[in-house]
Each structure stands twice: as C-alpha cells, then as structure tokens.
C-alpha cells in the first residue's frame, strides 16, 4: 500500500505552487519534506492527501489516481494533521478523536463498540488518555497536536501526513512529537512530515524530499538528500557541522548567512 505523487503539479491563478513532483510514501518510512517558505511543502502534502486535485501529473494510492478512489476509502487510508490546530468550539478531547471514525460510520449511525475501541487505542498511543474528557480548546499547543494525531490514528489510516507539526511547539515538545512520528513509522505506518527545522529532519526522518520553489531538488534516504552542500544551496546559507558532547551521537548543522 503506497501513496505516491508522480510528476504532480498544482497551478493556481497561473502560478505553479508545485511542479513535476514525484514522491513515494511507503509503510515503515518517515519522509521529511523540507524546503524554504513557499517551496511547496504544504501544497505537496495536500496533493498527496487528495485535498486538491493536481493540475498535471497525478497522486495515486496503490497506483489508482486519488480522484478515482471513493472518498471513504481514501479517508480510511490517508490522514492529514493540519498545521492550524485551532478548535473553535469546546469539544472534548474524546469528541475530537471520535471524528476520526467519520469514514467508518453511516450518516445516522452512532459509534459502535469497535469504534470506541479504535478511539481508546488511538488516545492511548498518542498518550492523551488522561485528558480524554478535557475541553480541547483549553489544551496547550503540544497537547492539541497530539489530539489531532490521535484523531488521525482513529481513522486507522496507514498513511499519516503532518503539516509543520512543530511550528508552534517548544523544543521539548517538538522532540516528543517527532519521536512519536518515528515510532509510528517503525510500527508500520507510512508517515510524511513537512518540516522547517532541518536538524529535526535529519534526526528523526528516514527519508527526505528537498524542495525549492515548487520543484523537487532531491529525494531519497535522509543522509543522501540533506547534505550540507545541498542544504546550503537550497536555503542560501553556509552550513557547518557541530558535534554535541557525548552521549548524544547525532551531529547538528549550524547555519550562517553567506
């Protein structure tokens, strides 16, 4: 089961937001989509989620173009966690997670025991079972992020797409969220994350797609794609490598203007 974009492009009002993008999201992989602002990360995610129809090329699920996949089937295969986690009304956490079951229920059906189990499991995996009855509008950014991830898990979708999940999170929570995403990938999900923080991408992703101005510059295993040279080129910065003190063995890129 794989989600892919093949030469996909989207143009709105004459402007190409993404062009000729070919990407595969496979189970067991955490793909980081990185690039400067406006490089098309969010757009590409939405093309993969089937929210927008590509102007050229296509996005496919197991080879079938998304437009031809029945809506409910697609919803049960692909889930999107949006960047904006604002919730306008005081739903409880459980109610928000329960929305993930929408594609599993008929219009007038109530949640069945199987649905309740899925909801409970999703909340457990996202570690929010303790706040299940809290008002979702009163949570911190990190907690809300996990609630929405839990909702995606409740859909039982194999493919999880997250749009800048760390954008408004502090460092500790950002690390938590991405560690969680990597765990999900290791458990068999196909995860794609749009990220602006390159070090987080390098640390947690298995694969990366580097975008610049709507085109894919490179894609593949993260170490091969996010080389200092490529990164410096695309972002217009000088990249040097710093090594933190043991026991942490990961290296960190340090950026400075050219």
- What residues make contact with other proteins under the rule CB under 8 A? 46, 49-51, 71-72, 74-76, 78-82, 84-92, 95-96, 99-100, 102-103, 105, 107-108, 133-135, 138, 148, 151, 155, 161
Alpha carbon of 231 to those of 7, 134, 211, 214, 228: distances in Å? 23, 42, 10, 16, 5
In the complex with other proteins, which residue's Cβ is closer, 58 or 155?
155
Round to whole Å and give the CA distance between 68 and 126. Answer: 32
Contacts 24+ apart (CB under 8 A), 167-171: 167/83, 167/196, 168/141, 169/141, 169/142, 169/145, 170/142
CB of 229 to other proteins, least distance (A): 35
If the CB atoms of residues 80 and 237 are measured against other proteins, the closer one turns out to be: 80
Q: Which is nearer to other proteins, 75 or 195 (CB)?
A: 75
DSSP bridge partners of 23: 5
Residue among 76, 27, 24, 55 nearest 186 (CA) = 27
> Minimum Å distance from CB 77 to other proteins?
10
Smallest distance, Å, CB 212 to other proteins?
24
Smallest distance from other proteins to CB 201, Å: 22
Nearer to other proteins, 95 or 197 (CB): 95
């Amino acid at each position: 089961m794989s989600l892919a974009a093949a030469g996909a492009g989207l143009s709105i009002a004459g402007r190409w937001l993404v062009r000729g993008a070919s990407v595969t999201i496979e189970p067991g992989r955490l793909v980081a989509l990185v690039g400067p602002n406006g490089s098309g990360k969010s757009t590409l995610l939405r093309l993969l989620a089937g929210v927008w129809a590509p102007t050229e090329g296509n996005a496919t699920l197991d080879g079938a173009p998304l437009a031809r996949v029945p809506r409910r089937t697609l919803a049960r295969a692909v889930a999107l966690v949006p960047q904006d986690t604002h919730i306008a009304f005081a739903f409880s956490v459980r109610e928000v997670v329960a929305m993930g079951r929408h594609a599993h229920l008929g219009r007038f059906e109530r949640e069945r025991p199987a649905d309740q189990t899925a909801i409970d499991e999703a909340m457990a995996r996202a570690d929010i079972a303790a706040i299940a009855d809290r008002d979702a509008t009163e949570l911190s950014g990190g907690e809300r992020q996990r609630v929405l991830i839990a909702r995606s898990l409740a859909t039982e979708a194999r493919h999880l797409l997250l749009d800048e999940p760390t954008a408004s999170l502090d460092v500790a929570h950002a690390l938590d969220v991405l560690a969680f995403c990597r765990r999900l990938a290791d458990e068999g999900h196909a995860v794609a994350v749009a990220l602006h923080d390159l070090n987080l991408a390098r640390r947690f992703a298995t694969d990366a797609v580097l975008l610049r101005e709507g085109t894919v510059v490179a894609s593949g295993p993260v170490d091969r794609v996010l080389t200092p040279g490529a990164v410096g080129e695309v972002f217009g910065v000088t990249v040097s490598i710093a090594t933190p003190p043991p026991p942490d063995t990961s290296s960190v890129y340090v950026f400075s203007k050219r």
